[in-house]
């Protein structure tokens, strides 16, 4: 069955600290991978996506993620977080031959000045 696991439920950082959020997926085929961000009180917005090609993808606001096929992982990184990055982050997976989009439980990030 298709599933996504996010290991960190709540992360607290100071500004300028580095960030890495874990994401592992389970799916018996080729996948498309996504990270979405949800700012307080808002809807989900796409941060970055991976469909094929270079496994290191860069998104908006300085975020990047690396697809490691052997580990079924798609971890999100940012070298230096800002207070404005405070939000909830969701990893999502869709099978390449299906459009069923499944989300992880989310990671709440709090960044303190």
Name the site residues for another protein (rule: CB under 8 A): 32, 34, 36, 42-46, 49, 51, 90, 99-106
Rounded-to-integer distance, Cα 101 and Cα 106, Å: 14
Shortest gap between Cβ of 106 and another protein (angstroms)? Answer: 5
Give whichever of 40 and 113 is closer to another protein, judged by the CB atom: 40
Shortest gap between Cβ of 31 and another protein (angstroms)? Answer: 12
DSSP state string for 18-40: -EEE--EEE-SS-EEEEEEEE-T
The candidate with the shortest Cα–Cα distance to 75, out of 95, 50, 96, is 50
Give whichever of 14 and 45 is closer to another protein, judged by the CB atom: 45
Give whichever of 19 and 91 is closer to another protein, judged by the CB atom: 91
Give whichever of 45 and 82 is closer to another protein, judged by the CB atom: 45
Task: Assess contact for 41 and 28: CB atoms under 8 A.
Answer: no
Shortest gap between Cβ of 67 and another protein (angstroms)? Answer: 14
């Amino acid at each position: 069955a298709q599933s996504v696991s996010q290991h960190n439920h709540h992360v607290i950082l100071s500004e300028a600290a580095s960030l890495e959020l874990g994401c592992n997926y389970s799916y018996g085929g080729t996948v498309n991978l996504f990270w979405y961000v949800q700012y307080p009180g808002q809807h989900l917005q796409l941060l970055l996506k991976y469909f094929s090609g270079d496994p290191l993808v860069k998104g908006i606001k300085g975020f990047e993620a690396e697809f490691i096929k052997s580990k079924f992982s798609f971890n999100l990184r940012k070298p230096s977080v800002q207070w404005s990055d405070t939000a909830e982050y969701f990893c999502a997976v869709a099978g390449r031959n299906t459009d069923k989009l499944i989300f992880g439980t989310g990671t709440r990030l709090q960044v303190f000045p």
